[in-house]
A and B are shown apart, each in its own frame.
Chain A
Amino acid sequence: MFRFILSRLLQAIPVLLVVITATFFLVRAAPGGPFSAEKAVPPEIIKALEARYHLDQPMWQQYFGYLNDLVHGEFGPSFRYPGRTVNELIAGGLPITAELALYAMLVAIIIGVCAGVFAALKPNTPQDYIPMSAAMLGICMPSFLMGPLLVLVFGIWFEWVPVSGWGDLPGDKILPAITLGSGYAAFLARLSRGGMLEVMSQDYIRTARAKGLPEWVVVLKHGLRGGLIPVIAFLGPAFAGLLSGSFVVETIFQIPGLGRFYVQAAFNRDYTMILGTTVFFATLIVLFNLLSDIIAVWINPKLRHQLREGS
């Protein structure tokens, strides 16, 4: 197990390096300098600015300088918000995005897994078709459509919940969490249904029933453990999706989180901000993939066994 974790950690390093290098040179290759504003700026000022951001140095020196900064946890200054660093912007936005992602994940897991397990208990009956059709609807209804529709119906027509904001009015966190979580709820429902269907036909489930255990113990204790393995494996990639989903949801609901910063930075051509957040997002995503791989091995005795055989 320890060797497995170590080898996965070592594999993550080249991935991160590729991300950082590709992002760095992509951003540097962008046409139009970061200071090409509408107004003509005197050359002295441009020179001073370039010196301030080390743009006068040769490319390789900038690259290794940036790597050095990253190792020390410095993401550099923002081009557009003078005097503020990318670190500060991330520190301001991250808690909000993390909270949003957490709620969305809770929505997704609770609704998705319940619906999937429920559907798998009586396959090919209305109890299966109804939740699974709803799941299909969730998959085919992108968040940028779901969000505005929810706002229109529950925020504007019924006036039950606020239409935007984050933590200003009671209940304004409900719609963003549902918008971001619903697509994943649908995926998780399909995954957990598939997993449960397979597990419930196994011999050990028959054994559990033969022992005379009540059905809910069979389902919850013996079925869920195996049935949820595909769900756990999906959580890592889902996290990456949640981050990019936050771009849209935070824009729709005007939530001052990381996703909205990122989109704004993209429009403002705030290159250091884009570079910094991309590297930060990438690191998070790689780490979460790693985590979900480790958990998947940890809870699945079959994989654990394979690992021991292999090493």
Chain B
Amino acid sequence: MFKAKQPEPVLTDPLVQAVKGTSLWQDAWIRLRKNTFALCGLGVILFLCIIALLTPFIAPYGYEQQNLLLGAAPPSAEHWLGTDIFGRDMLTRIMYGSRVSLMVGFIATGVALLIGVLWGTIAGYAGGRVDAVMMRLVDILYALPFMIFIVLLMVVFGRNILLLFLAIGAVEWLTMARIVRGQVLSLRRQEFVEAAVSLGLSRWTIIRRHLIPNTLGPVIVYTTLTIPSVMLLEAFLSFLGLGIQPPQSSWGLLISYGVETMEEYPWLLLFPGLTLSITLFALNFLGDGLRDALDPRASKN
């Protein structure tokens, strides 16, 4: 007595099918969606980026528009965040500052990302002596006191915003290179890379198509955590007077002006400071959330 042949239960079970269809990214997104803090962080960052992009069109006042009669006024209906000692609208200045601060954060991190990923991948994939030499160099650079070097660079070559991007980017790529190399080392022994080699793909294609995409998880996490540290570095230099120069504006510069007059006009310090802190908060929460979502093992400790 044979029962009628039943269809394979695995294929009909809707739950199993759903699991089958989940890629790493979908899985990560599901985990990230549960993390309220990280989502808030993402929202804040997106909001700031939109504001920064639209600033020239939506800023309530002109950037250099002075109103000497008004002077430093506390927050009011016309000037939501008050005005500085020249009667310039604080909200407008913070909005323009966000353009510079975010730009430094993203571009310098981009520089770090580019150098770090390439360096790490090449070292990890080449292996052997090339790897040893390349990573030795990273070790030596790691030991250098870079903060002091950046100050030195800004002093020697003048306060050039392009140089600032390069200098900060050149510091931050080291950790990225280490992370990527570790990933590539473990990846290149796996079957799919061997398969790619046996198919006769060139080294560069293997690196570009098979290795780099697989390192993206940790790279994205580290990138999100690099952006706030870069922004902090820019603000630090601008605060000392070694970063962004007026008439350009950045949050660090606004804070340093705010400090000079904080006794009489505390809002000139509070608002730029609050903006910077909230941004750093948001980026850090997003980074932590992404780490939990993309790399559950690393987040345990």
> Which A residues have a C-beta under 8 Å from some C-beta of B?
11-12, 14-15, 18-19, 22-23, 26-27, 29-31, 136-137, 139-142, 144-145, 148-149, 151-152, 156, 194-195, 197-198, 240-241, 243-244, 247-248, 251-252, 262-263, 266-267, 269, 274, 278, 281-282, 285-286, 289
Contacts and interface: CB of A to CB of B under 8 A. Distances in A.
Contacts of A281: 145, 148
Contact of B140 (A15, A27, A152): A15
Interface stretch (B52-60, B78-86, B119-127, B258-266): B258-266
A23 B152 CA distance: 8
B145 A285 contact: yes
A26 B273 CA distance: 34
SS class, residues of chain B in contact with chain A: helix
Counting chain B CB atoms within 10 Å of each CB, which of A12, A252, A285 scores highest? A285
Contact of B144 (A15, A30, A145, A241): A15
Contact of A14 (B140, B152, B235): B140
A19 B145 contact: yes
Interface stretch (B11-19, B23-31, B183-191, B276-284): B276-284
Interface in B249-301: 252, 255-256, 258-259, 262-263, 266, 269, 273, 276-277, 280-281, 284-285, 300-301
SS class, residues of chain A in contact with chain B: helix
Contact of B239 (A140, A248, A269): A248
B156 interface: yes
B301 A197 contact: yes
Nearest to A152: B262
A278 B145 CA distance: 9
Contacts of A289: 143
Counting chain B CB atoms within 10 Å of each CB, which of A27, A145, A151, A278 scores highest? A145
Q: Shortest 10 CB-CB distances between A and B: which pairs?
A: A244-B147, A140-B280, A30-B156, A144-B239, A266-B155, A15-B143, A148-B259, A145-B273, A285-B145, A140-B281
Contacts of B273: 145, 149
The range of chain B's interface size is: 35 or more
Contacts of B301: 194-195, 197-198
Contact of B145 (A139, A144, A282): A282
Contacts of A244: 145, 147-148, 151
Given A23-B149, A152-B262, A267-B155, 19 more contacts: A15-B143, A18-B144, A19-B145, A26-B156, A30-B155, A31-B156, A136-B284, A136-B285, A140-B284, A144-B252, A145-B255, A240-B145, A243-B147, A244-B148, A244-B151, A247-B240, A263-B151, A266-B155, A278-B145
B153 interface: yes
B236 interface: yes
Given A140-B277, A282-B145, A248 B242 contact: no
Contacts of B232: 142
5 contacts: A12-B143, A152-B269, A241-B147, A248-B239, A252-B259
Contact of B156 (A18, A27, A141): A27
B232 to A, nearest CB: 6
A262 B151 contact: yes
Contact of A26 (B153, B269, B276, B285): B153
Contacts of A31: 156-158
B241 interface: yes
A286 B147 CA distance: 13
Given A26-B156, A136-B284, A197-B301, A145 B242 contact: no
A251 B147 CA distance: 16
A192 B112 CA distance: 29
Contacts of A247: 151, 240
B266 A152 contact: yes
Given A26-B152, A144-B236, A139 B284 contact: yes
Contact of B148 (A12, A29, A137, A282): A282
A291 B169 CA distance: 28
Nearest to B266: A152
Contacts of A29: 156
A144 B235 contact: yes
Given A140-B281, A197-B301, A18 B152 contact: no
Contacts of A22: 144, 149
Nearest to A265: B155
